[in-house]
A and B are shown apart, each in its own frame.
Chain A
Amino acid sequence: MKALAWHGKHDVRMDTVDDPGIVNPRDCIIKVTSTAICGSDLHLYDGYIPTMQAGDILGHEFMGEVVEVGAKSTLKKGQRVVVPFTIACGSCYHCGKHQYSACDNGLPADNQDIAQTLYGQPMSGLFGYSHMTGGYAGGQAEYVRVPFSDVGPIVIPDGIEDDKVLFLSDILPTGWQAAEYAEIEPGDTVAVWGCGPVGLFAVQSAFLMGAERVIAIDHFPHRLELAAKFGAETLNFEETAVYDALMTMTGGIGPDAVIDAVGLEAHGLFVDNIVDQIKASTFLGTDRTHAIRQAILACRKGGRVSMPAVYGGFVDKFPLGAFMEKGLTLKTGQTHVQHYLPGLLAAIMEGKIDTEFLISHRMPLTDAPKGYKMFKDQQNEVTKIVLKPGMASA
C-alpha cells in the first residue's frame, strides 16, 4: 500500500510498504477514506520529536471503512468508523474511570520505559507519533491496523459525510475537554490563547457550556476571523497588550477561566533533552512559555486554568507564586477521546457544533508531502488539510 513515511527533518515521502494485517484478536483493519494533518505532525516534520525512525508512518487523525476484523473485534466489515488518536485498552483501572489517555496497556511493554523514566508512569499509545508513544503505524496511509477496535473506534451512521465527523479523532474532543476542564459556569468570561483547531473548538465548546463571553487571542488574522464567526471577541497580540486589554474588558477582574491552546499541537511530546533545541527556535520557545505565564497572570483570583497545550519537558519561569497566591486550579492532560465520542457525534448530528468550517484544503493522499510543506509555510491561510486516499490528483 501507499503510506506517508517520515525520513527526517522536512523529509516525508509516499512510500510503498506492506499492507497491514490482523495481529491481535481485538484488532481491525480499516481502509482509510479521510485523514488530516495535525499541527502536532509539524513537530515531527520539523524534527523536534525524539525516538522517530526513518520509515515511520505518520498520521493520527483518520477514519475509514472496516475491511478486516480480529476474532474479538465487535466491528463488522463495511462499517464506517472514526478512530481515536489515543490507543487505549478499555479494561485497565484508568480506562474504567474513562481516563483513556492514561491507559496502562496501550503502550507495548518495551516502549513504556521512556515515558516511565520521564513522567513516572507510562501513558496510552498514540498512532503515528514516534516510538516513545508506541511506534504504531499511523493513518496517513491507505490501510491501518487499529488495536483494541472493540473500544476505540466509533461507528458513523450512513449519510454523514467524512468531513463532518473526521475531527472526532482528536481536535474536537481535545477542544471540548479543554473547555470542560475550564469548569465554565453560566455568565463566565473565558479567554482562549491560540486559535488553532483546538482553540477554535474550545471557543465553540465554551459557548455551548454557558460562557457569556469568550475572548480569543492569536496573531493570525484569518484564525481570529474564524473565532469571531463563533461569537468570540478577538485580541491580536501583535497589535495589543493582551493583559491590559483583558483587565479592561473584564472590569479589572480578569477572565474567570483561561485556556492555553498555544503551541502547534495539542499532544506533541517534548522531552527535556530537546528543550534547548526548542528554545533555540525563538517562535516556539518564547511564545509557548509566554502564553501560559500570561494566562496565569490574567486569570481572576480563584479562577481556573485549562491547558490542552502540551508541555512534555520542563518549563522555566513558571509563575508558581501567582498561581498559589491567587488560588488557581489547573486541569490539563492528553484527551480522553473515547469518553467524549458518543456525545460529540450527537452534537455534530444535531448541528450544535460546526466542524467543516476548519477545512481549508482537500487533496489526494499522494499529495501529502506537498500538504506538509503548505501547512508549515502558510499558517494563516491553511487551517486544516484533509487527505483523501481515493481522490484524483488535481
Chain B
Amino acid sequence: MANTDDAPASASKQEPTAAGDGIADAKGSSVSGRAVTINKPVAEVYAYFRDFSRLPTFMENVVSIDVRDDRTSHWVVKAPAGRTVEWDAIVTEDVPDRLIAWTSAEGADVPNSGRIEFADAGGRGTVVTATILYDPPAGVIGKIVAKMFQREPAIQARRDLRRFKQLLETGEIATPATNAKQFEEMGL
C-alpha cells in the first residue's frame, strides 16, 4: 500500500513494495534511499556521475566498472567474506541534469535496479536522491550478514553519497589516515 502523504517511498514505514514505482523494470524488494545536497551546479554533478568509470573513486565497495557502451556497464562489487558479486547494469532512462535509472541484466548475482535523481537547489547547489532496489543474497540472512560486514547496500549508499559530495565540493575524500601507507591499509 502506498503512503497517503508526501514522504519519499524510502522513508515509508509500510512494506517497501511501492518504492519501485517509477523505476522501469524494477528488480528487488529491499529499498535504500538517501538524499544529499551538493554545493555544485546540477550540470557538473550529473556529468560526474554519468561517467560510470569514475564511480569507483568514491564507491568504496565497487572494485571496477567496465563501461561497455552508452547503456551497458559491467560492475564488480565486494561482498561479505572476501567474495565479489558481478552484474551488467543497463541504463533504462537518462535525462541529462535530471535522472539516471538502471536495472541489472539477466544473470546478475544480485538483481538490482534504481534511479539517481538530480534537482537544481538554487543557491544550495544540487539535491541528489538515490533509490536502490535489490534482492539480498540468500534473503534476510544475507542482509544481516552483509550488515555485519558493513557491505549492506543501504550503508554503502549512504557513505558513498557522502564521499561523492566530498569529492565534488572539496576535490578530495576526507580520511583520517596519517600517511600514504596507512591510507592503503584503510581503503577509502
Q: What CA separation (Å) do A110 and B177 show in the bound complex? A: 13
> Interface with B: A89-97, A199-207, A308-316, which one?
A89-97
One of A25, A89, A111 near B176 (C-beta < 8 A): A111
Q: Contacts A105-B174, A134-B176, A145-B178; is A89 near B169 (CB within 8 Å)?
A: yes
B: number of interface residues (CB 8 Å): 28
B28 on the A face (CB < 8 A): no
Q: What CA separation (Å) do A104 and B175 show in the bound complex? A: 14
Most B CB atoms within 10 A — which of A20, A22, A90? A20
B39 contacts across to A, CB distance below 8 A: 91-93, 96
* B159-A23 in contact (CB<8A): no
* A112-B162 in contact (CB<8A): yes
B158 contacts across to A, CB distance below 8 A: 113
* B171-A72 in contact (CB<8A): yes
One of B155, B165, B179 near A145 (C-beta < 8 A): B179
B151 on the A face (CB < 8 A): no
* B174-A93 in contact (CB<8A): no
B37 on the A face (CB < 8 A): yes
* B165-A108 in contact (CB<8A): no
* B171-A134 in contact (CB<8A): no
Q: Contacts A24-B172, A93-B39, A93-B125; is A105 near B179 (CB within 8 Å)?
A: no
- Closest chain-A Cβ to B139's Cβ sits at a distance in Å of 25
One of A18, A93, A96 near B178 (C-beta < 8 A): A18
B124 on the A face (CB < 8 A): yes
In the complex, which residues 1-52 of chain A have their Cβ closer than 8 Å to any Cβ of chain B? 18-26
B115 on the A face (CB < 8 A): no
Most B CB atoms within 10 A — which of A19, A96, A105, A134? A105
> What does the 1/0 interface line of A68-94 toward B look like (CB < 8 Å)?
000010000000000000010111110
Q: What CA separation (Å) do A72 and B171 show in the bound complex? A: 10
* B171-A25 in contact (CB<8A): yes
- Closest chain-B Cβ to A269's Cβ sits at a distance in Å of 16
* B165-A105 in contact (CB<8A): yes
> What does the 1/0 interface line of A109-127 toward B look like (CB < 8 Å)?
1111100000000000100
* B173-A109 in contact (CB<8A): yes
B165 contacts across to A, CB distance below 8 A: 92, 104-105
B166 contacts across to A, CB distance below 8 A: 89, 105, 109
CB closest residue in chain A, given B168: A91
A112 contacts across to B, CB distance below 8 A: 159, 162
CB closest residue in chain A, given B162: A109
B83 on the A face (CB < 8 A): no
A64 on the B face (CB < 8 A): no
One of B173, B175, B182 near A18 (C-beta < 8 A): B182
CB closest residue in chain B, given A107: B174
Most B CB atoms within 10 A — which of A21, A110, A112? A110
Q: What CA separation (Å) do A113 and B177 show in the bound complex? A: 18
Most A CB atoms within 10 A — which of B155, B158, B179, B188? B179
CB closest residue in chain A, given B177: A23
Q: Contacts A23-B183, A93-B37, A109-B162; is A137 near B176 (CB within 8 Å)?
A: yes
* B170-A18 in contact (CB<8A): no
Q: Contacts A91-B39, A109-B159; is A26 near B176 (CB within 8 Å)?
A: no
> What does the 1/0 interface line of B12-23 toward A look like (CB < 8 Å)?
000000000000
* B178-A137 in contact (CB<8A): yes
Most B CB atoms within 10 A — which of A23, A106, A131, A145? A23
B181 on the A face (CB < 8 A): yes
Q: Contacts A96-B39, A105-B165, A110-B159; is A91 near B179 (CB within 8 Å)?
A: no
Q: Contacts A91-B39, A109-B159, A110-B159; is A134 near B174 (CB within 8 Å)?
A: yes
Chain A residues in the interface with B (C-beta under 8 A):
18-26, 72, 87, 89-93, 96, 104-113, 125, 131, 134-137, 145, 147-148
19 A-B pairs, CB-CB below 8 angstroms?
A21-B178, A23-B178, A24-B174, A24-B175, A25-B172, A26-B172, A105-B166, A105-B170, A108-B173, A108-B175, A108-B176, A109-B160, A109-B163, A109-B188, A110-B159, A125-B174, A131-B176, A137-B178, A145-B179
